[in-house]
Structure 1
């Protein structure tokens, strides 16, 4: 009886393939392979070459050594023979042994998956058609938050609640210099968190090109430098992200409109900016441009942030209008024209004229060119890849994560999904629980939410009670002389559990994670009210909002427990 130790098997199917490979080696009568124990026992004729057995396993991309013997080095001749016996090709494409995972994309989901897969012993081929790093670091989260912060500084220099004692000093905005500063930080982060890490990891091979599926285990990569490369994989992660979705409006395609990508990269500020859209990207960039000096008009098909609790849109609209931003609710452009360097938008309420037009109507998954039907990967009606909570697609060997899927489009969701996908592709079982997912809109005041809104809870048949605390009841807001906004808590009737929080407040993003932890740990509203919160912090508003379920906080001393 011959025994082999085998590394790299991740499931019972792997063990079956190893068994079949070993039984094709001349002289092997039978083989028993155990995935959980990581070994194979063989009944073989005397004189069966032992190195041929290890070569057969290596040919499948696993590692094999004889029990109680030093590792057997791979020999090209024996490997070729083994591949001939198997009647197949070398899955590892002639590189190192081990489970081979292909990752399409290089953003948050892709990088998290690649690094976790390598950590768990896999080899990774990462395929990127454009700039390494994906949307967030290059054209999304990082540059937008830098621009938003610069706009905030410009705003408070021009106007603040303390102008009576601190003279306002309207700034001179040098957009080209701000852009250079912004791009330098983007380049720095991309190199530190993406390019440098990939360059220093020998287990990750990077291909620059566009991938498409040839079948359920093979990709064809059209290389940017010319030519094609075939990549055969054991598992694959699709993490191709999303791109700006462009609405169908007569005349729009004949104009030089902006998406968020062009807006963030512009080294000049338009005197007049029209924004079509009402969700996160639209409101964040609209306020940033307004604070840097543009006259901004927003065309909202419904209301601002209409998918959220209605009070959120109302509070944000009031704040925008107070800053001079023109918010046109229930307004759509039926036609767009461009002449004489001017955009003319025709609406049911008259014309809107602007020097630049920003289209910010959501993002569409990048799935069209992947040839997914060949691989048996299903899409939903939006073209997003359908995944379960383990990031599995309809093909058991192919996983997906990030904005190309039907999961929420946030980079931290993408990264968490990528990590869990890698664990599952390498034999683990990791699920992604989104029941307490915090979300932040980086306007001023910020919008932050987690858990159920009242409408969502009622849709799911949950009876609720709720309270709204205006910020004139929060000592930190009073000390800041800025009481715009509110904190709303949603409670499940019966259990008393906190199930949702919505906040509109300066730095609301800094308080929402505390709410997420409370919901995750199934805290009651009363338990939240009984916690110690530091005085004169915005997060103390959660405690005060929880106290309103049982008492009138206006009748409490300023730091009553």
Structure 2
């Protein structure tokens, strides 16, 4: 007889949902997770963060073999591409990780149901099982962690063959001749980078003033230069207006300041953002009305206003990041169990896994100016760094923004090799409200890329040592 009585049911088995379930189980709550995909890990693990990073890594190896290994004295003749092997490697990584998450459910004695969960009332969740039939769960508390889905533009509906979401862009059977990307944000640039490295011509159309519109102006300037040198073309302040199809060929039309731009291509990736997935959850039965963008309004403790029902991750306000969802899952589970739970939203890093990578935390220079803050800025390039030279990757910089009076760090921005790893040092600094002086006085091993962070911290006080 299947269990039907629970302390907590989590609807959605993505990063926020499965982590919330694990933490709840650790705290002694009888917990169930409901996931309709048939595999745990959500968009991130199945068709997002993990498979995209696998392809980014593989495509970077391909690019290095073609263009950079000779600088190290490594000569490789006739570099070729086996896209099928590359895709199978990506799929194997995903399978291994999803299996690992399922093992964690068993290890923590969490009931895992493969099916679509929806509310019958605030203490009852109905599960339409993937294998057929239904199961009804009684629960004291429920966490909605159903994540998000790619936004579809009416003039370019996804067919995942020619017109792609990020999911389709991860599963192409051949390198496109010309890929047009609508949206110059994180997903658009990452997927554009993959296919550009593998030989596609890539053109990015961005409606905002620039690509990566939320990033620091110095980051944007550097990334446009670097990605442009790799062959990516950009049309900024351009609005996608029409898509024409003729067999296997597409024509993308955009309005760029009153001028019509027409681009012929064979694949179109639409990466204009994601929308909270809150459809068909029976929210109306429990008195929850999502906002126009699909998101659920919550209080400071992830409560939805309905006793016992909480929401985390992409379905609530804030950046749509897996690590943000995970932290919210932990905090929410702790609060349900009667313990203090907290997420420091100031200390959440954001990363773009192009090459060089981009990583940021806190506010950027434009935001500091808009808020009328008096700040000191320290900036140091990777170019003179010994480890960066050894890598052969000297493009980029570290930029730190500190309060002029207190020296407390307010923002940190990195463009460069392994920026995704380097930002962790600054995330810890933010968690402890560190000053630029704190970072500057910390001893950094030599030679390391992290020394550029130390030099940038010294530069806040205009005393960098190696410039």
TM class by shorter chain equals over 0.9
Task: Return the alpha-carbon distance in structure 1 between the equivalents of residues 72 and 12 of structure 2.
Answer: 52
Name which of 67, 72, 91 aligns with 1:183.
91
Conserved 8 A contact 1:332-1:347: yes
Name which of 392, 400, 414 aligns with 2:303.
392
- CA drift at 1:544: 0.8
The TM-score with structure 2 as length reference comes to: 0.92
- CA drift at 1:540: 0.6
Task: Return the alpha-carbon distance in structure 2 between the equivalents of residues 222 and 306 of structure 1.
Answer: 41
Task: Return the alpha-carbon distance in structure 1 between the equivalents of residues 440 and 158 of structure 2.
Answer: 54
Gaps spanning 5+ residues in structure 2: where? none
Alignment of 1:114 onto 2:21: yes
- CA drift at 1:327: 1.8
Name which of 68, 71, 75 aligns with 1:163.
71
Q: Aligned pair in 2 of structure 1 residues 355, 557: CA closer, same or farther (>3 Å)?
A: closer
Conserved 8 A contact 1:449-1:501: yes
Task: Return the alpha-carbon distance in structure 1 between the equivalents of residues 462 and 367 of structure 2.
Answer: 26
Please list, as runs of the form range in 1=range in 2, the aligned pairs for 1:28-427 lying within 5 A after superposition: 95=3, 100-133=7-40, 134-160=42-68, 163=71, 165-167=73-75, 169=77, 171-194=79-102, 196-201=103-108, 203-248=109-154, 250=155, 252=157, 256-302=162-208, 303-348=210-255, 349-427=260-338
Task: Return the alpha-carbon distance in structure 2 between the equivalents of residues 296 and 238 of structure 1.
Answer: 38
Conserved 8 A contact 2:69-2:75: no
Conserved 8 A contact 2:377-2:459: no
Conserved 8 A contact 2:15-2:44: yes
SS at match of 1:353: strand
Task: Return the alpha-carbon distance in structure 2 between the equivalents of residues 110 and 557 of structure 1.
Answer: 46
> Which protein is bigger by CA-based radius of gyration?
1
Task: Return the alpha-carbon distance in structure 2 between the equivalents of residues 418 and 549 of structure 1.
Answer: 36
Conserved 8 A contact 1:220-1:228: yes
Task: Return the alpha-carbon distance in structure 2 between the equivalents of residues 96 and 223 of structure 1.
Answer: 14
Task: Return the alpha-carbon distance in structure 2 between the equivalents of residues 493 and 163 of structure 1.
Answer: 43
- How many residues are paired up? 460
Alignment of 1:516 onto 2:427: yes
Bigger mean CA deviation after superposition, 281-290 or 391-400:
391-400
Quote the residue 2:376 is aligned against.
465
Quote the residue 2:393 is aligned against.
482
Conserved 8 A contact 1:142-1:186: yes
Gaps spanning 5+ residues in structure 1: where? 1-92
Name which structure has the greater RCO, CA cutoff 8 Å, separation 6+.
Answer: 2
- CA RMSD, 1 decimal: 2.3
Conserved 8 A contact 2:4-2:136: no
Quote the residue 1:36 is aligned against.
none
Conserved 8 A contact 1:305-1:313: yes
SS at match of 1:384: coil
Q: Aligned pair in 2 of structure 1 residues 163, 557: CA closer, same or farther (>3 Å)?
A: closer
Quote the residue 2:357 is aligned against.
446
